[in-house]
Amino acid sequence: MTNTDGSRYENCLYRVEQLQKGEKKAAEASAMNMMQLMSAAGKAVFKQLQRRFPAPARIAVCCGEGNNGGDGYIVARLAQEAGYQVQVFALKPNAELSDPLESDAHRARSAWREQGGNEKALLDCAPDQFDLVVDALFGVGLNRALEGDPVTWVQHVNASSTPVISVDVPSGLNADNGHVPGAAVRAHLTVSLVALKRGLLTGKAQNHTGELVLEDLGIGETFKQQNDADWFRVDAGGLGNWLPARARCTHKGEQGHVLIVGGQPGMSGAVILAMKSALRAGAGKVSVACHPDVQAIVAAAQPEAMVHSIKDEDTLKPLLRDASAIALGPGLGQSRWSHDVFSQVMKADALKVIDADGLNLLASYPARSSKLLLTPHPGEAARLLQTTADEVEADRFLAVTQLREKYGAQVLLKGAGSLLVTDRGRCLIDRGSPAMASGGMGDLLTGLISGLLAQRMAPAQALIAGALWHAMAGEEAGKDGERGTLASDLLPYIRRLVNGYGRDDD
């Protein structure tokens, strides 16, 4: 994997199984036993709590029966010692501990009781009566929907305006894939312990984790040495000089030629956005191959682009031959014209970024090629895999891997916490803004990636950099308000990012 950035521990993402099997070994190699590790976890969560809520705040600590609950009891004890007003609510309140030493969680619970602490029933917790709720109910081992009292408790917590700190993972969330199978806590802060779990950063999980903080408990580097991460979080600093400064004597022919294919009647806006994005990405020349009925509309939108009316195979062939990179799909539609154009483009030898109706047609006419770059959202991914969008969202990591295997392509699965499987490895981009939930954003991304390809950026790099800079541009445009942001609002920021401005401001 490239330095995007796998060298930094906070960018290494792990599977739950790796944590379950590896944290004890890492602790032992760091001269710690598991009770010491649990104590370190409680202290780390309490440290984050103290930074945000000074004593004597009222704190409800909600504890389960496992190690996550044990962490919670340590937080409760530390908070009480520091002058906070603490009440513990337990899944099994005042349960008899036949042997307090039989587990680390029991030791932590016993220490809480020895300090004079008591426990109330989970459903006795009224979040609005507290300044903070600590969610220590279920940890990373949960892989099913919550049932019974925890469901009611989650509903009460989520309905309240009281902030929530979740220990390691918001209860109800699958930390391995980000799936939310039922009720799940909506935390304001999640303190991930030892290492980042990959599922906390993608899909619906982003509605639940809130601010995400990593506390490695002093064993992070040892854990990293003992366990290979197979997913990595991308940050702007890891892109280095993937798009270096231009030579003073360069000319447009050296900066590549993008051909954008699409633009059916009624869909000219999509191809226009892709066209403008490719130009702002720095492509030397941008051509558009569109339906004859929209040629005048597209040509009037950008005088710097060359816009061609595609009537038959003979008018498209020379354009395909001259292209450095092809963007296929914006506004393409699914008419007879669309099918014919798709078929011709797929025969071309150039690198192809496929999105929108290009992906829908690919689902009907599957092709496998290393020269394809696919950028589906979950619905398009579902059609490509002949499944449902819900199934894709239930395990985005599996879906993007299956797309790579089926089509032999480099793949970007879009959405909150976009996932990429490329020649440079597997990575995740958790940048972007809710402001980007408007039409045309995907067309903009297609143009940006194709513009980077045309400038001889390697396909994997173009996909990664394009996705990251697109997300960062969305963040900047969204600063004026999450509602009403248009895809075209991102264009000035895309230009700045491809020129190196703001790449390290993450």
Domain ranges of the chain: 9-233, 254-498
Query: 422 by DSSP, 3-state: which?
Result: strand
Q: Is 395 annotated as a binding residue?
A: no
3-state secondary structure of 285: strand
Closest by alpha carbon to 287, among 447, 466, 496, 463?
A: 447
Beta bridge partners of 266: none
Is 143 assigned a ligand-binding role in the annotation?
yes
Strand order across the beta sheet in which 189-193 lies: 119-121, 85-90, 58-63, 132-136, 164-167, 189-193, 211-215
Q: Which two tokens stand for residue 180?
A: 């939310």
Q: Is 68 annotated as a binding residue?
A: yes
Token digits of residue 372: 């394809």
Q: Distance between CA 71 and CA 46 in Å, rounded?
A: 10
Determine if residue 139 is labeled as part of a ligand binding site: yes
The answer to whether residue 449 scores a pLDDT higher than 60 is yes
271 is in an annotated binding site: no
Is 171 part of any known ligand binding site? yes
Is 442 among the annotated ligand-binding positions?
Answer: yes
Q: Is 496 annotated as a binding residue?
A: no
Q: Please report, rounded to a whole number, the percentage of residues in the chain having pLDDT higher than 70.
A: 97
pLDDT at position 328, please?
98
pLDDT at position 217 is 98
DSSP states along 128-151: GGSSEEEEES--TT--S---SHHH
CATH homologous superfamily of 254-498: Ribokinase (3.40.1190.20)
71 is in an annotated binding site: yes
User: pLDDT, tens digit, for every residue of 280-320?
Assistant: 999 999 999 999 999 999 999 999 999 999 998 899 999 99
Q: What are phi and psi for residue 266, nearest 5 degrees? A: 90, -5
Instruction: Tell me: is residue 417 an annotated ligand-binding position.
Output: yes
Q: What DSSP character marks residue 121?
A: E
349 is in an annotated binding site: no
Q: Residue 95 has what pLDDT?
A: 83
Distance CA 30, CA 218 (A): 8
Q: How confident is the model at residue 1 (pLDDT cuts 50, 70, 90)?
A: very low
Residue 454: pLDDT band (50, 70, 90) is very high
pLDDT for res 238: 72
The span from the CA of 60 to the CA of 48, in Å, is 15
Question: Is 289 assigned a ligand-binding role in the annotation?
Answer: no
Res. 100: pLDDT tops 80: no
Q: Using a pLDDT cut of 90, give the percent of the chain over it.
A: 91
Q: Are 165 and 159 in contact (CB under 8 A)?
A: no
What is the C-alpha separation between 375 and 373, in angstroms, rounded?
Answer: 7
* Average pLDDT over all residues of the chain: 95
Provide the pLDDT for residue 503: 61
> Model confidence at 243, in pLDDT bands (50, 70, 90)?
confident
CA distance 400 to 416: 14
Distance from the first to the final alpha carbon of the chain: 20
Tell me the mean pLDDT in the region 393-410.
98
| Residue 418 annotated as lining a ligand binding site | yes
Specify the pLDDT at position 456.
Answer: 95
Question: Of the candidates 346, 342, 330, 332, which has an alpha carbon nearest to the alpha carbon of residue 277?
Answer: 330
Q: So what's the pLDDT on residue 5? A: 53
Residue 168 among known ligand-binding residues = yes
Residue 141 counted as an annotated binding residue? yes
Give yes or no for residue 506 having a pLDDT over 90.
Answer: no
Record the tokens describing residue 405, joined without a space: 């295997």
Question: Are the C-beta atoms of residues 152 and 123 closer than 8 Å to each other?
Answer: yes
Q: Is 270 known as a binding-site position? A: yes
What are the φ/ψ torsions at residue 493 (nearest 5 degrees)? -75, -35
Look-up: residue for tokens 């916490």? 417
β-bridge mates for residue 232, sequence order:
12, 427
Q: Is 160 known to sit in a ligand binding site?
A: no
- Decide if 230 contacts 198 (C-beta within 8 A): no
Q: Please report how the helices 268-281 and 441-454 are oriented relative to each other, as an axis angle in degrees rounded to 10.
A: 40
Taken in order 203, 150, 49, 112, is the CA torsion positive or negative? negative
Q: For residues 266-288, b (16+ Cβ closer than 10 Å) or e, as one string?
A: ebbbbbbbbbbbbbbbbbbbbbb
- Decide if 9-233 and 254-498 have a common fold: no
Average pLDDT over residues 229-240: 87
* pLDDT in the model for residue 97: 77
Q: Say if residue 377 carries a ligand binding annotation.
A: yes
Binding site annotation covers 478? no
Q: Is 117 annotated as a binding residue?
A: no
| CATH class in words for 9-233 | alpha beta
Tally of CB atoms within 10 A around 457: 24
Q: How far apart are CA 122 and CA 383, in angstroms?
A: 43
Q: What band does 12 get if pLDDT is binned at 50, 70 and 90?
A: very high
Q: What is the pLDDT of residues 138-188, one digit of tens each?
A: 999 898 999 999 999 999 999 999 999 999 999 999 999 999 999 999 999
Neighbours of 121 (CB within 10 A): 14
Give the pLDDT confidence score for residue 391 in this predicted structure. Answer: 97
Only one residue has tokens 């296929």, namely: 328
Please tell me the predicted confidence (pLDDT) of residue 2.
Answer: 42
